[in-house]
A = this chain, B = another copy of it.
Amino acid sequence: MKRYEVIGIDGLPEVARDADVGALIHEAANRQRTPIEPRDILVVSQKVVSKSEGRIVRLSDVEPSPRAEALALELGRDPKLTEIILRESRRVVRGGKGVLVVETHHGWICANAGVDQSNVDADTACLLPEDGDRSARALRDRLKALTGHEVAVIIADTFGRPWREGLVNVAVGVAGLQPIKSYLGELDPAGHVLQATILAIADELASAAEPVMGKLDRIPAAIIRGLDWEPGEVGSRPLIRDPERDLFR
């Protein structure tokens, strides 16, 4: 029987710049008597990672470009926030109905380049980690040093999606885990080749963690325990669809 558990890690303090997020998670897991175990997957909110990396911008320090001013006017958005979003972006994918969907420098396509103002001080905005995979690897290495255990780390953020209402948690950084599970070329029990079946397991596990994390509860991390997962060091990039195979860019 396949089964696994999802455990929210509660009671982390407010995370400041240069905070040792790995140690905070390790200590909080110990305090609640669910210490990190070998083969756990840690799902960690990008917000605490970004805060610890100083990826916070003060709006009053930002001078909007003419392009940001024009776009903000068109969309009914704040010009300074729009400027921050554009700086985090490679290109604008779609703007309208108050929403700005961009492709970030990492290659993620999402609203507002992942820049947001919840759970940060007023007059500030929080950016995605500069390199989510690097952040995930650093956290994985730190947790290994603290616990002695091989774990995997998924850094997660809530993204909207076309066509379906509501945000879902997805991976924006991965360490130690193969992010895609592939059935390419395997046969199903009826003898069909499962040609197109590749599953975004890292995104599914980010989503699995969200219900115990919560936006308001200061539970910025969760343990996924008991699942048999495939190790890998390819990070999160395989989750970005090849532009050649994407009909909606």
**Chain A: residues with CB nearer than 8 A to chain B?**
1-8, 10, 32, 34, 94, 96-97, 99, 101, 108-109, 117-122, 158, 161-170, 179-181, 183, 186, 188-192, 194, 197-201, 203-205, 207-208, 210-212, 214-219, 227, 238-242, 244-249
Contact = CB atoms under 8 A, between A and B. Distances in A.
Given A119-B190, A122-B190, 12 more contacts: A1-B7, A2-B7, A2-B219, A118-B188, A158-B199, A162-B162, A163-B240, A163-B249, A164-B239, A168-B203, A204-B207, A207-B208
Given A94-B247, A163-B246, A201 B211 contact: yes
Nearest to A212: B2
Given A8-B1, A189-B218, A212-B2, A199 B166 contact: yes
A194 B168 contact: no
A118 B246 contact: no
Contacts of A204: 168-169, 207-208, 210-211
Given A8-B1, A119-B192, A246-B163, A183 B215 contact: yes
A200 B165 contact: yes
A239 B199 contact: no
Contact of A197 (B8, B198, B215): B215
Interface of A is mostly: loop
28 contacts: A1-B10, A1-B32, A2-B212, A3-B212, A4-B212, A97-B245, A117-B192, A118-B190, A119-B192, A120-B192, A122-B192, A161-B162, A162-B248, A163-B248, A164-B203, A166-B181, A166-B200, A166-B201, A167-B197, A167-B198, A167-B199, A167-B200, A168-B204, A183-B216, A189-B218, A201-B211, A204-B211, A208-B208
